[in-house]
Amino acid sequence: SADKKSYPVLLSNGNLVAQENRGGGRHWTKWHDPFPKPSYLFAIVAGDLEYLQDKFKTRSGRDVDLRLYARQGDIAQCQHALESLKQAMHWDEVQYGREYDLDLYMVVAVSDFNMGAMENKGLNIFNTKYVLAQPETATDRDYHNIAGVIGHEYFHNWSGNRVTCRDWFQLSLKEGFTVFRDQQFSADIGSAAVKRIEDAALVRTHQFREDSGPMAHPVRPLSYAEINNFYTLTVYIKGAEVV
Residues 127 and 12 in one domain: yes
Residues 81 and 179 in one domain: no
Within a domain: residue 148? no
Residues 189 and 104 in one domain: no
Which residue intervals of the chain are DSSP H helices? Answer: 79-96, 140-155, 171-189, 192-202, 208-211, 233, 239-242
Return the pLDDT at 114: 87
Residues 243 and 185 in one domain: yes
Residues 171 and 129 in one domain: no
Residues 125 and 171 in one domain: no
At 67, which helix (H) or strand (E)?
Answer: strand 63-70
Residues 24 and 72 in one domain: yes
Q: Which regions of the chain are under pLDDT 50?
A: none
Residues 59 and 169 in one domain: no
Within a domain: residue 160? no
Within a domain: residue 227? yes
Q: How far apart are CA 155 and CA 194, in angstroms?
A: 22
- Domain span holding position 219: 165-243
In terms of Cα–Cα distance, which of 220, 222, 219 is closest to 238?
219
Return the pLDDT at 37: 94
Residues 105 and 190 in one domain: no
Q: CB count, 10 Å around CB of 119? A: 22
**Paired sense of beta strands 63-70 and 9-12, if any:** unpaired
Residues 128 and 178 in one domain: no
Within a domain: residue 149? no
Return the pLDDT at 189: 98
The answer to whether 153 is a known catalytic residue is yes
Return the pLDDT at 46: 98
Within a domain: residue 145? no
Return the pLDDT at 115: 86
Contact, 236 vs 213, CB < 8 A?
no
pTM (2 d.p.): 0.95
- Cα 85–89–94 angle (5° rounding)? 145
What digits encode the pLDDT tens for the residues 30-87? 999 999 999 999 999 999 999 999 999 999 999 999 999 999 999 999 999 999 999 9
Within a domain: residue 139? no
Provide Rg for the chain, Cα atoms: 19
Domains contained in the chain, number: 2
**In this structure, is the dihedral angle defined by the CA atoms of residues 152, 157, 158 and 164, taken in order, positive or negative?**
positive
CATH number of the domain residue 230 falls in: 1.10.390.10
Query: Could you say which of 136, 153, 198, 210 is catalytic?
Result: 153
Return the pLDDT at 228: 84
Within a domain: residue 128? yes
Q: Give strand pairing partners of 104.
A: 65
Secondary-structure percent of the chain, ordered helix, strand, coil, rounded to 5: 40, 25, 35
Return the pLDDT at 195: 98
